[in-house]
Chains A and B, each alone.
Chain A
Amino acid sequence: MKRFKYSEVTPEKIYNNRRSFIKNLGLAAGSMLVGSNLFTSADATTNKDELKLTDYRYVTTYNNYYEFGTGKSDPVERSQKFNTKPWDIVIDGEVENPITLSMEEITEMFPSEERIYKLRCVEGWSMVIPWQGFPLNKILKKVLPTSKAKFVKFISVLDPEQMIGQRFPILDWPYKEGLRIDEAMHDLTILVTGLYGKKLPNQNGSPLRLMVPWKYGFKSSKAIVNIKLVEKMPTSSWMKASPNEYGFYSNVNPRVDHPRWSQATERVIGGGIISPRIPTIMFNGYGDEVASLYTGMDLKKYF
């Protein structure tokens, strides 16, 4: 079982009784949170910070969401009036049953569950966030992908009227991302509708975003309007912006540096000034679940 309910382990419990949190984690989720490495490797002080849920205020005020600006506080400051109603999501491409679903239909059809995932940003910081969502494969199975469906392309909303960042050529708008079909079908890959038991805040990608915990954060598209199954590998907005820096896979990998900075360590958000960098773990700690997807692949080449 790779389920771990936020409601079962409240933040207060975590802060007050970290020991039982770790125990619960071990029992309830096995390697779900950050993989078995976490519990065996490194020293105890490192693990403490890693296991702590990141404060709600940090999760919702420290965001990379260039549609609203390149500053970390731009998204929270500029997205509050962002209108997400009505919102339709088109699922089409190499499928037998293309459909268009409203957000209301989606929340009705796919009951959300709680998942605590670690988010590792390509910039070298991480958060631990309790998400609400459902596996992407549930929605993909509904549309019956054909044999030509080798990749999934995610297209985010294009709305420069409401999104000031889209009025500048920061990236190739609308934001585009992609996964290989087996990555998309993986049970850890979820579509997110909420966090911390609340409706997904605008600055975190409301109304619907992706969360792929073993990849760098930018792979997890926000405000998705179109999920397209395709035959050829899609070019993401970041690949287009800088092909030698951002690859299609972008799996968290401490041994493959970003060309301009190291990926060996990360800072834990909310850890404070005295908390040290912690070592970054292969596949962000989800190696037990996902390493088999990449058997035989040279991950330095396919970064």
Chain B
Amino acid sequence: MRSYFKPSVFVLSTIPFFLITYKIFFNKLGPEPVKEITHFTGEWTLIFICLTLSMSPLKRFTNFIFWVKIRRMLGLFVFFYATLHLLTYVVIDYRFDWQQITDDVIKKKYIFIGFAAWVLLIPLVLTSSQKMIIVLKHNWKKLHKLIYVIAIFGSLHYIWLSKTIFFKPMLYFVIITVLLILRINFRGIFNK
């Protein structure tokens, strides 16, 4: 029974990818298709960030170990959807117009922070293997705390690109904040 769990999560995680592919090929993207792909892949990146961050609290509350077993895979899906998001922007939207793109990355804070979040994902992907956990020892845990920074950057990216924080940008901000607060060791603080 348990052995089906991980493959099922994998299959479920690919559904957004197949959904957007279907929408592209069957012309179901609506009035602004490029924006639709950008928003779709961006939002799924945020959803996977939230899912990844939910795993250790879930383990704590339910006492089931399998939550942490799928955490790495969910984290890799964050990178997968973030990369699709970035590629949509570079290839479909701006068509390798590097001057405009560099201009945006440097001058526009929401692009800068979004790009920074994607760059910060790279070391996490490169060190995601079992072998790297052994090689890096206790540094591995420290390094992978970067996901907290990435989550905050992702949320700010969404807030800054929107004309108003109402309602979805606020929703993701609240969810991510709660998930990060759950990690603070209050007992440790109060016992000091």
**Interface set of A (CB-CB < 8 Å, partner B):** 55, 58, 61-62, 66, 70, 72, 122-123, 125, 168, 170-171, 241, 257, 260-262, 264-265, 267, 269-270, 272-273, 276-277
Given A70-B167, A277-B94, verify A62-B30 contact (CB < 8 Å).
Answer: yes
Cβ–Cβ contact B166 & A261, under 8 A? no
Q: How far is the CA of A123 from the CA of B103 in the complex (A)?
A: 18
Cβ–Cβ contact A125 & B32, under 8 A? yes
Q: How far is the CA of A272 from the CA of B108 in the complex (A)?
A: 26
Cβ–Cβ contact B164 & A170, under 8 A? yes
Q: How far is the CA of A171 from the CA of B30 in the complex (A)?
A: 27
A-B pairs, 8 with minimum CB distance: A58-B31, A62-B31, A273-B33, A170-B166, A269-B31, A70-B166, A170-B164, A260-B160
CB-contact partner of A61 in B31, B95, B161, under 8 A = B31
Write the nearest CB–CB distance from A77 to chain B, whole angstroms: 14
Since A70-B164, A273-B33, A273-B92 are in contact, a sample of 15 more A-B pairs with Cβ atoms closer than 8 Å, ordered by chain A residue number, is A58-B31, A62-B31, A125-B32, A125-B35, A168-B166, A168-B167, A170-B164, A260-B160, A260-B161, A262-B108, A264-B100, A269-B32, A270-B31, A273-B37, A276-B95
Residues of A with C-beta under 8 A to B167: 70, 168
Question: Interface residues of A: mostly helix, strand, loop or mixed?
Answer: loop
Write the nearest CB–CB distance from A53 to chain B, whole angstroms: 13
Q: How far is the CA of A262 from the CA of B104 in the complex (A)?
A: 7
Instruction: Confirm or deny: B152 has a beta carbon within 8 angstroms of a beta carbon on chain A.
Output: no
Interface residues of B in 26-80 (CB under 8 A from A): 27, 29-35, 37
Write the nearest CB–CB distance from A70 to chain B, whole angstroms: 5
Cβ–Cβ contact A260 & B100, under 8 A? no
Write the nearest CB–CB distance from B77 to chain A, whole angstroms: 24
With most chain A CB atoms within 10 A of its CB, the pick from B95, B100, B110, B166 is: B166
Instruction: Confirm or deny: B24 has a beta carbon within 8 angstroms of a beta carbon on chain A.
Output: yes
Residues of A with C-beta under 8 A to B163: 70, 122-123
Residues of B with C-beta under 8 A to A58: 31
